[in-house]
Structure formats: C-alpha cells, structure tokens
Amino acid sequence: MIEICAIASGSNGNCYYVGNEKEAVLIDLGISTKQAVQRMVEKGLELQKIKAVFVSHEHADHVRGVRVFSKRYNIPVYFTAQTYLKLSRRVQPNSPRFFKPGESVSIGSITVHSFLKNHDAVEPCSFRIELDDKHIGVFTDIGEPCENLHHHFTQCQAVFLETNYDEPMLMNGPYPVYLKQRVGSKNGHLSNIQALNLVQEKAGEELGLIFLSHISADNNTPELAMESFSLLSDKYDVRLTSRYAPTDVVRIE
C-alpha cells in the first residue's frame, strides 16, 4: 500500500510525502522542520519511515527546512550539484548527497527518477517516484511542458500537478509587468489551462488521481483551479492541495 500526501503546497512552502509500509521520501522541504513534523504527526505519517529528501531546485519555498531537518533527524538530502552550490550556507546541509539530472536513485524499495524541466532556476528537476509497481509524479514549478515531462507523466497513477495561475487573474492582477511575464513565461509556472491540456493530451491509461498543486494566492483560487478540471471530474479523482495545511493521506493499493 502506498501513502501520498501534500504536506504543503504553495509559494510559501512545498513538501510532498510518498511512501509505503516501510519507507518514504519527501520531495522538497520548503517549510520549517517544526511545521513539517507537526503536519505529518497530524496525518498519522511516521517520521521514522522517511529515508531521504529530494530537492527540485534552490528557491526558498522548496529548501527552507532542509538543513535543520537533515541535522535533527540524520536524514540525507539529495540535490544536483549546481542546485546545492546555489544555496546560501545557512540552508546547505552539512553532508549533502547528489544526483545528476536524468538519474534514478534507489532508496530501499523506492526509486526516484529525476528529469530536467523548464523553470527559472539553475538546474531545476522534477521527480517520478516508483514504488510497489506504482508511479507518483511531483510536477510543479514548470513554465511549459517538455518532452521529459511528457515521458514521465504518461507512466503515473497519481500526480501532484501544478495549477499555479488563472490567466485572466494574472493579466489583470496586481503584479508588476515583469513579474507577470516571468510567471507566464516558458520558465515560469503552469496555468490551470496548461495543466488541463497536459492531462488531456498526455495522461496514461492508469492515471486516476490528480492533486492540483502550487496554487497561487494572488493569481488563482482553489475554486477556479477545480472549475478548470470540471470536465474531467468523471474520469479522475481531482483534489486540492493547500499552502496552509496538509491534504488527507491517500492510500493506493
């Protein structure tokens, strides 16, 4: 049985849990160690199962808690070399481990497949986590879909998929022009419609669960994100993530 949970998802912090009865990994840790542990305890997730943290890129909302978490619980953190070097020393764990983009890393019964993506970071990666013959994708912070994303997306039974912004809200909202351009660029974030198109065009036959993730507080609403996927609600189990609280733990047999 697989357990998955968005511990946090948003520009104020991201952290995703994927595990089975024996082992688990975290993808990103952009909230404090205290918050992360409290939220896992709240949802009945066992801290001792966590064997590693994998970091997608160097932005603060993905790395804020890694140094303290790694030191306090003696849990290794995996980065690309360029991502690690881009971090300030106060964030860098003392004993990092490294992977190359495109490399697969095995942690016990869990294999984490990495791939380069389009985002405004030094060496941004996303991940497909393979365990117990299932595949879980963590696909956020993506400006536009690429062939790497297409390849990994088609294999997944469940995904944490970015629905960062609603295009009219972004264009008509309070952000300065340069920031609107950055968010909507090929190295920015996925909109509701881009995410919907990705599912419609590239979902594999076994995809069943979609967590709408990394929803902007300024340029989107949970209601708009869900409305964008309303046409697919009969085909998929579509759920929201939150920047303020963990999701329910979903168990996949």
Q: Of 42, 91, 44, nearest to 71 (Cα)?
A: 91
d(CA 251, CA 19): 10
At 25-38, the pLDDT tens digits run 999 999 999 999 99
d(CA 61, CA 29): 8
pLDDT score for 253: 86
pLDDT score for 165: 98
Domain ranges of the chain: 2-252
Residue 27 pairs with which residues in a beta bridge? 16, 54
Q: Which ranges of the chain have pLDDT less than 50?
A: none
102 Ramachandran zone, left/alpha/beta (phi>0; psi -120 to 50): left
pLDDT score for 238: 98
**0.85 cut: is pTM over it?**
yes
Indicate the helix (H) or strand (E) that contains 158.
strand 158-162
pLDDT score for 2: 97
Helix axes 33-42, 66-73, angle to 10 degrees: 70
Angle (CA) 124 126 129, round 5°? 150
Q: Per CATH, the architecture of 2-252 is what?
A: 4-Layer Sandwich (3.60)
pLDDT score for 59: 98
Handedness of CA 29, 140, 125, 138 (dihedral sign): positive
Question: What type of residue sits at position 113?
Answer: H
209, 237 contact by CB (below 8 A):
yes
Distance of CA 34 to CAs 38, 49, 134, 215, Å?
Answer: 6, 17, 30, 23
Distance in angstroms between the alpha carbons of the first and the last residue of the chain: 5
d(CA 76, CA 93): 9
d(CA 65, CA 7): 13
pLDDT score for 241: 98
